Amino acid sequence: MGGNNLGGKIPTDLGSLSNLSYLILAANHLTGAIPHSIGNLSNLHTLSLPYNNLEGSIPTQLGQLSKLEYPQLSAYNLSGMVATSLYNISSIYFFSINKNQLHGILPLDLGLTLPNLPGFYVSSNQFYGQIPSSIANATRLVQISFTNNSFTGPMPMNLGTLYALESFAASDNSLGTNQHNELMSFLTSLFNCSSLTQLDLATNHFKGLLPHSIANLCTKITWLTLQDNYIFGSIPLGIGNLVNLQYLILDDNMLTGSIPNSIGKLSMLEILMLYKNNISGEIPSSIRNLCRLGTLDLSTNTIEGSIPISLGNCTNLQQICLHYNHLTGAIPYQIFGLSSFVYLSLSQNYLTGLLPQEVGTISMAFRQLKGIQELDVSRNNLSGQIPRFLGEFRFFQYLNLSYNMFDCEVPNGGVFTNSSAFSVVGNSKLCGGIKLLQLPTCPIEVLHERKRPSNHRVIVLVVTLTIVVLSLCILAILYRNRRSRQQVNLASPLENQYPQLYYGELFQATNGFSAANLIGEGGHGYVYKGILNSDEQIVAVKVLNLHEHGANKVFVTECQALKNIRHWNLVKIITACSSIDFKGHDFKALVFEFMENGSLENWLHPCLLEQHEPKNLNFVQRLNIAIDVACALDYLHHHCEMTFIHCDLKPSNILLDADLCAHVGDFGLAKIFFATNGISIRQQSSSIGIRETIGYVAPGKGPTSNMFTGNVNLHSYVKMCLPEQVMQIVDPQIILEMEVEPSRSMQSSTTNISKPEPCLVPVFQIGVSCSVEMPSERMSVKDVLKELHKIRNVFLGVRGQRH
């Protein structure tokens, strides 16, 4: 009967329903006290009365309900003490009395009398005394909440026995002693809680050093709040180990030192609050990896240096609070491109320079802040004009530009029409604006300056731009000459052509580059399956091992090559990533389209250990795959600006999509032939080079030459192993499939085929011809493609049909 807008009092007659097992009256408008007669319901399992307007105390008679499992008495105005008998019902499975006015001391034997608890909730009451250490005896506990009471004394140090514990909340109490090692001891006691996801100890009396051992907490932890205590020391470098953290709140303590660069490892972080400490140093550039960050509050510290430009990469930021620090330099316009912004506070720093004006891309970025509600840049050293388009922001609640060095006219539109919504005091060179400001009238030349820059500024701007352009041209010529002596000038990098990704996004997409996501590896790196959060697209991420010799050149070479290669039967590149990892090391990766059906190798030679059903390809499917591969090679050989020779074609490098269409996944730069002069250029190393080629590699990668020893090569091997009876080396599954449906498979408008050999023999002939040792004697890929189409048409009897 929950949620039915019931009113009035709970009838006392309910106590006569002796067989009643469930009494659920939650979320109504019930008033009065809980009837004592409820204690007569001897078979009651569930008593759910939260979210009503009940008052009075919890009847002592409820202690008679020996079968009670779920007492839910939260969120109304109950007062008084909880009867001891209620704590003695050992069958209770879920104990919830949150958000009342109950008081008293919890029994010392609480965990012994309620041994089956997975959840214990007494938050937002007036309980006092110590948290009983016996609670550790309730070994099934998953969630514990003591928040917002008056508990005092030390924390129980035996909670490490609660292996299933996921959430422990004890904020807003008076817990803690004067012992400096108490916090360290308590956190150490939680190391065995391997399921812990939330730890909230905020607003207590904990004192002591923030232990480095905090990095040893369960890596599943998502919520760590220790604010408003007396904790000192620096933020440990190992904080980056807690890779699933979403909320890190350490504000209002006595922390010192700098923010460690390892903070960039916390790619799941949504809220970072460190305000009101004594933190110094600079804001680490690794903060760019915090792609999910929504709130950043570093205010009221002694942080110095400039605001990092990389903060503009945190595209989900809604609030930035950096006030009351020692920041210097200009405000990077990149942060004004964050369209999600609601609140930006940079006051009480030493910032200089201009606010973005109505010129070029800067104003376009600033104009994206249509949802911003508050902007405070007061008490800095900012100068120049106040941008007129600030008045266009409809949701502005307050704009504080006071105590800077702004000059010229105050705009008179939008927020500037409401004197209580903005402040420009302390800017002695301002003029104009609404009358309530009582500023002097602007001289005529100032008004003209709004419309056009002065001749002096125009001259300075033109001269500066001319010098910059000439300098860049000279540098470009010198660089180009230097590069031309080293290598042929290839295409521009991929980054100019594809959407840019950063390390944090790929880290998140691949579950931290976990082994479970690994789908391949090669000499220059690894390939991971990933999901890009931007559009839930499944991708293959090829990560280069930059410790390998020549790996950086591999990345550049691949980017330049892939920029010019486009074909349906080549694995599609999505983007490239050149960034830094959470440790500040260089990181380079290529992101490819993911192929659902894996490699042809896995279909032709499935692993015996695989649990799923064996994979089978019929003759037509195999022909189609061969045609797809031939189409890809024909494109690489004859239809590119530069002719690409693959050099490593094999089943593991042929990937199949959901429709079993083939895509060459390792098309390479082993050799490039320029069509203009026919000169062959051998790359020292591409992503696979002669040994490795462009694209992501399926498992089992390796050049075919490594498969042979002595003087044996692929062609001699084929000639030696191909018996006179060709049917001996054919997959029996093909023969079975061809013979089961002769009426479909063996009829042709031009040829009557009663046996499979007439279609198989031409395929083998193509294979032998393509493996001749002398390249000049091999069949051209154009002829291969033509012959394969002919074989398929003969077999199907219908031209162009694809099964």
pLDDT in tens, 307-329: 998 888 888 898 999 999 999 99
Type of residue found at 666: D
Neighbours of 42 (CB within 10 A): 13
Please state the rounded mean pLDDT for residues 227-231: 93
Query: Which pLDDT value is given to residue 107?
Result: 93
Residue 357: pLDDT band (50, 70, 90) is low
Task: Report domain extents, the chain.
Answer: 455-486, 495-707, 713-803
Read off φ and ψ for residue 560, nearest 5 degrees: -65, -35
Query: Which pLDDT value is given to residue 401?
Result: 95
* Residue 542 marked ligand-binding: yes
Q: Report CA dihedral (249, 254, 260, 262) to the nearest 10 degrees.
A: -30
Residue 783, pLDDT > 80, answer: yes
Contacts of 208-211 with C-beta under 8 Å, sequence gap 24+, read 208/179, 208/180, 208/181, 208/182, 208/183, 208/184, 208/232, 209/180, 209/181, 209/183, 209/184, 209/233, 210/183, 210/234, 210/235, 210/236, 210/250, 210/253, 210/255, 211/183, 211/184, 211/187, 211/236
Query: Which pLDDT value is given to residue 15?
Result: 85
Residue 368, pLDDT > 60, answer: no
Query: Which pLDDT value is given to residue 231?
Result: 93
pLDDT in tens, 693-749: 444 444 333 445 555 555 556 566 566 666 555 556 676 666 656 655 544 444 443
Residue 228, pLDDT > 90, answer: yes
Q: Is 1.10.510.10 the CATH number for 495-707?
A: yes
- Check: CB of residue 211 under 8 Å from CB of residue 235: no
Mean pLDDT of the chain: 79
- Check: CB of residue 298 under 8 Å from CB of residue 277: no
Type of residue found at 346: L
Place of tokens 């660089």: 479
Query: Which pLDDT value is given to residue 799?
Result: 38
- Check: CB of residue 206 under 8 Å from CB of residue 184: no
Task: List, in order, residues 6 or more apart from 54 with CB less than 8 Å away.
Answer: 10, 30, 31, 32, 33, 34, 76, 77, 78
Read off φ and ψ for residue 305, nearest 5 degrees: 80, -170
Dist CA 251 CA 259 (whole Å): 13
Residue 689, pLDDT > 70, answer: no
DSSP, collapsed to helix, strand or coil, labels residue 659 as coil
Lowest mean pLDDT among 226-230, 432-436, 530-534: 530-534
- Check: CB of residue 100 under 8 Å from CB of residue 123: no
pLDDT in tens, 483-513: 443 333 333 344 445 566 778 788 888 888 8
Task: List, in order, residues 6 or more apart from 795 with CB less than 8 Å away.
Answer: 619, 620, 623, 745, 748, 753, 759
Residue 111, pLDDT > 80, answer: yes
- 461, 463, 466, 468, 795 from 473: Cα distances, Å: 18, 15, 11, 9, 62
Query: Which pLDDT value is given to residue 690?
Result: 32
Lowest mean pLDDT among 247-261, 294-308, 325-339: 325-339
Residue 379: pLDDT band (50, 70, 90) is very high
Type of residue found at 290: L
Query: Which pLDDT value is given to residue 675?
Result: 44
Query: Which pLDDT value is given to residue 76?
Result: 73
Query: Which pLDDT value is given to residue 480?
Result: 58
Residue 678, pLDDT > 70, answer: no
Beta strand residue intervals within 309-427, DSSP E: 319-321, 326-329, 343-345, 350-354, 374-376, 381-385, 398-400, 405-410, 422-423
pLDDT in tens, 16-69: 888 899 888 888 888 888 999 998 998 999 888 888 888 889 999 998 998 998
Please state the rounded mean pLDDT for residues 756-776: 77
Enter the DSSP assignment of 729.
G
More confident of the two residues 526 and 105 = 105
Residue 181: pLDDT band (50, 70, 90) is confident
Query: Which pLDDT value is given to residue 718?
Result: 61
Say if residue 459 is exposed, middle or buried (CB neighbours under 10 Å; 0-12, 13-18, 19+).
exposed
Residue 182: pLDDT band (50, 70, 90) is confident
What is the token pair recorded at 137?
A: 């005896």
Dist CA 126 CA 153 (whole Å): 15
Residue 573, pLDDT > 70, answer: yes
Query: Which pLDDT value is given to residue 280?
Result: 95
Nearest Cα residue to 258 out of 241, 235, 239, 274: 235
Helical H segments across 425-512, by residue range? 444-451, 455-486, 503-509
- Check: CB of residue 183 under 8 Å from CB of residue 207: yes
Residue 156, pLDDT > 70, answer: yes
Q: Which of the given ranges, 101-105, 469-473, 580-584, 739-743, has the highest pLDDT on average?
A: 101-105
Helical H segments across 589-731, by residue range? 600-604, 619-638, 714-721
Place of tokens 């949504």: 270
Dist CA 478 CA 473 (whole Å): 9
Query: Which pLDDT value is given to residue 553?
Result: 64
- Check: CB of residue 592 under 8 Å from CB of residue 539: yes
Dist CA 777 CA 186 (whole Å): 77
Query: Which pLDDT value is given to residue 611?
Result: 46
Query: Which pLDDT value is given to residue 743?
Result: 43
Dist CA 249 CA 251 (whole Å): 6
- 377, 504, 678, 690 from 734: Cα distances, Å: 75, 47, 43, 34
What is the token pair recorded at 93?
A: 């499975």
The catalytic site residues sit at: 648
Dist CA 653 CA 299 (whole Å): 53
